[in-house]
Amino acid sequence: MRLRLVILATVALVGCGSVGEDETNEVQPDLDDIALSSAVSIRSIGCAPGSIRGAGAVIEGGFVLTAGHVVAGASSITVQPASNPPGSEPRTAHLVALDPKNDLALLTITGAVLPGLRVARGASTGAGLTAVFRESKAVLHPFVITRPVQVRILDIYGQRTVTRESYQVAAETSGGDSGAVLIGPEGTAVGVLYAQSDESDDRAWATTMAAVPQLIDDARLVDPSSGIDTGACAPE
């Protein structure tokens, strides 16, 4: 059956529900704090009319992990940590690594260092939490990894068909949730949301962490104060 995917980046946010009770599993009580302390909202300017909004989270090394199509081609990127007081000025961000095949990106941000999530090694299963943003406020939503999948999909530029190591997840998602990091029950980053189904309201796809360690290695070779060229805009 052909997968029908809808990219989650958008210029507007809409409401979102939660996973049904029969699909949730127990997670650690302190996972809420872990998710909120690392979560960030992202705004990029330069491609779509207005701005593109997405989400992300700080991971090991102090980098912000997000979806590549949220920031590709941007002339300006800003990040707002969920832990910042309301009304705080957003932080300037720079792109330091981009993976068009896996739709992943790493950013550096100005200001104080935020708590970073460890990156999961190996396949992940079960339930967890992800932080998304509704009207600039961080909201926690549960998810369940239903199965690992290899998704045949165009890269973020729509130029070539690639195979993306992914998880199919049961989770309510909305436009603007691209880049939200899935946090497993052990408090590690296990996936990055990049698309939702246009046939089911509670089905989405997330990239696994398989490509992230190499991305971190690449980012460490880049000047964090200037970053790299963001390249071309990803098609809407």
Note the CATH architecture for domain 5-219. Beta Barrel (2.40)
Q: What is the pLDDT along the chain (236 residues), one digit of tens a residue?
A: 233 444 454 332 222 323 333 334 454 558 999 999 999 999 999 998 889 999 999 999 999 999 999 999 999 999 999 998 888 899 999 999 999 999 999 999 998 889 999 999 999 999 999 999 998 899 999 999 999 999 999 999 999 999 999 999 999 899 899 999 999 999 999 999 999 988 887 899 999 999 999 999 999 999 999 999 999 999 97
All structural domains of the chain with their residue ranges: 5-219
* Nearest-angstrom CA–CA distance, 24 and 143: 7
pLDDT the model gives residue 48: 82
* End-to-end alpha carbon distance in the chain: 24
3-state secondary structure the chain: CCCCEEECCECCCCCCCCCCHHHCCCCCCCHHHHHHHHEEEEEEECCCCCCEEEEEEEEHHHCEEECHHHHCCCCEEEEEECCCCCCCCCEEEEEEEEECCCCEEEEEECCCCCCCECECCCCCCEEEEEEEEECCEEEEEEEEEEEEEEEEEECCCCCCEEEEEEEEEECCCCCCCCCCEEECCCCCEEEEEEEEECCCCCEEEEECCCCHHHHHHHHCCCCCCCCCCCCCCCCC
pLDDT the model gives residue 26: 52
Token couple for 67: 């979806």
pTM, to two decimals: 0.88
